[in-house]
Structure 1
């Protein structure tokens, strides 16, 4: 009988009482409570932040029965009479709510305060005030006085009210920001009343007052020792999911090692610090085990429009997302809404991850973490870059790939021409420039890589694209407003085909010229081997 996998379940209590599989993360709770008491953690969506907040909530509620057999049980029991102490808790779960409404955020915060009054049996008259910040302050003081214990404040997805309004309602986003400025800054001067404070979010907004006024928050987002706090590490995968790996391998007719390799290519590759451990996307990994298939589950939950708009505005070449981009630590840890650089938001949202670190210059190199992110994100770019969805496109990417598999490069080029002819350009727009042409072509070729071996470079010194099918190898070189002979000559002079000379597959060298005036392919040369 298959074990119960907690796909999308964010309640620690539900997981532990309803016999769901749980990957023990309580070691991190022990580290946190014995190091400091006020923290901020940034991680992408669906990465387990809410579950970790829920685990903290159960721990500080003294629910020892939920922690049987976990790391923290033995550590906590060593405290003797001080073990499993129960503290008053104020929990803000902010992922839900209509934050485009003028009263959406204030109602959510107010409801949390009202709920605490009822749960702890407080005198409602003592938790009054003309403003929400005053009520929040009075609530903390009343909880401390009634219980005789310091208060725990847990805030999950603090940035949802800002992210959900940044594009659709900038006026409301600013009002939500101002409300935050007064509300959570209350914590700054209440240290004596507080036992533990923990904030989570996708992004760290540098101009939100909780990070300026509330400067005692320790940001652990890029700390090596907390790199595995959310997500599934390689060790956790093999220690906890043996039966699920075998079931998936059996369903996909793969050997054990090939199944592990495919899981890594699809869902692994996330690094949130310079030297910390890498992790798998937990939502996608659990979904793959649940459905016994390698799907793009993270992307089924949607791609934020803000990412696509940021990329459109920046005009950053798409190949850099795969090849690597460079950023400073301060840029990665702080996000400014008015910053045209898309890299910090892409990193904090989980679409780019750390792949290298230069200690001398303190620079991080980032790239797309895995195939799920790469092909899922590129697919979401099709409407904005090509002007239509792939399903609507008469020269579909799958048809192009079928041409190459059948050894029909001429038909492939015909479909390329059809595709570029169908891309709409607004009236008055200047002729397409090299960056735009490369952007569109790179997207097409990269998405083909989801179905075959397609190495796309689009950079000087390497073949622009190499496509490998079971029977053919194609080496492409693309030129803009240049003789097609230059493309073939570059393939030969640079020796792009040398490494394939001993391959039994049929080899084609394909030179392609794009015209900025005609906005399409105008010349092609196909040379066998």
Structure 2
């Protein structure tokens, strides 16, 4: 009902007002009951709106601290939410974006990460832009939404490891992809960070194939993925 009644437009307006990004909505967070059950007309963050409209729900409760863990209820709502946010980042190309994402999903399922990134690069070259999108955060959020809509896979953003945080970790039936995005830098620099921080060590006990992917992105001129390195 919320998706069909125009709420995403209002939600985007409130996200801008409170400086909330799609990545932040996708993460679980701890909150006091007063933080998420406040009247929407007096809310000081977007959390009450997300909770009362059903975009996030109570996932757990910690008796020791009297805090609640909040998160997106299920896969269906996650996909619906991010699909509703996608047009805000792709402007008139959102329908083509959904097609490209579906095609990427098949390529990744077949272990063809090169093909998936090539398809993404080709698609992004067709996306119109305006002046207020020439900054890193816009493209970081756009890429997050695109990867989050690869529905067959487990997507983690800024997953903590012993040496830092990975940008995007994508787990398929057979592979674990560790991705590092570098804006205004090279794919080799991105791949070097994965290796220097030993991000792959966090998955050493997994029986899946570990694939490291360094991605370079040009915000100023190309506004697209410029190169990537796979190891």
Q: Same fold (TM over 0.5)?
A: yes
Asked if residue 455 in structure 1 is aligned to residue 151 in structure 2, the reply is: no
Q: For 2:212, which of 504, 509, 520 is the aligned residue?
A: 509
Unaligned runs of 5+ in 1: 1-297
Native 8 Å contact 1:488 1:510 kept in 2: yes
Contact 1:464 1:478 in 2 (8 A): yes
Cα deviations by residue, 1:280-337 (Å, 9 ceiling, x for unpaired):
xxxxxxxxxxxxxxxxxx6775562422332244341222222224544334333344
> Corresponding residue for 1:212?
none
Query: Which residue, 192, 195, 198 being the options, matches 1:492?
Result: 195
Hey, what's the Cα distance between the residues in 1 that align with 2:182 and 2:100?
A: 23
CA contact (8 A) 1:404 1:472 kept: no
Please give the alpha-carbon distance, in whole angstroms, between the structure 2 residues aligned to 1:459 and 1:471. 19
Q: CA deviation at 1:447?
A: 0.8
SS at structure 1 position matched to 2:169: strand
Query: Which residue in 1 is equivalent to 2:120?
Result: 416
- Residue 467 (structure 1) aligns with: 170
Could you say which residue in structure 1 is the equivalent of 2:147? Answer: 445
Measured at CA, do residues 388 and 315 of structure 1 come closer, stay the same or move farther in structure 2, by a change above 3 Å? farther
Deviation of 1:520 after TM superposition, in Å, equals 1.4
User: C-alpha separation between the residues in 1 aligned to 2:210 and 2:33?
Assistant: 45
2:15–2:21: 8 Å Cα contact kept in structure 1? no
Where 1:407 maps in the other structure, the secondary structure is coil
Contact 1:478 / 1:487 at 8 angstroms: preserved in 2? yes
Question: Which residue, out of 413, 435, 451, partners 2:137?
Answer: 435
Deviations 1:368-400 (A, max 9, x none): 121121111111111112224653338611111
Normalising by the residue count of structure 1, what TM-score does the alignment of the two structures yield? 0.38
Aligned residues: 226
Q: Distance in 2 between matches of 1:331 and 1:506?
A: 41
Q: Could you say which structure has the greater relative contact order, defined with CA pairs below 8 angstroms and 6 or more residues apart? A: 2
> How far has the Cα of 1:512 moved from its partner?
0.5
Task: Give secondary structure in 1 for the equivalent of 2:87.
Answer: helix
The match for 2:74 among 367, 370, 375 is 370
RMSD: 3.0
Alignment of 1:272-287 (within 5 A): none
When you count strand as a share of all residues, which structure comes out higher?
A: 2
Unaligned runs of 5+ in 2: none
Cα distance, 1:504 vs structure 2 = 5.5
Where does residue 182 of structure 2 map in the other structure? Answer: 479
Residues 57-89 of structure 1, C-alpha deviations (whole Å, 9 max, x = no match): xxxxxxxxxxxxxxxxxxxxxxxxxxxxxxxxx
Displacement of 1:432 after TM fit? Answer: 2.7
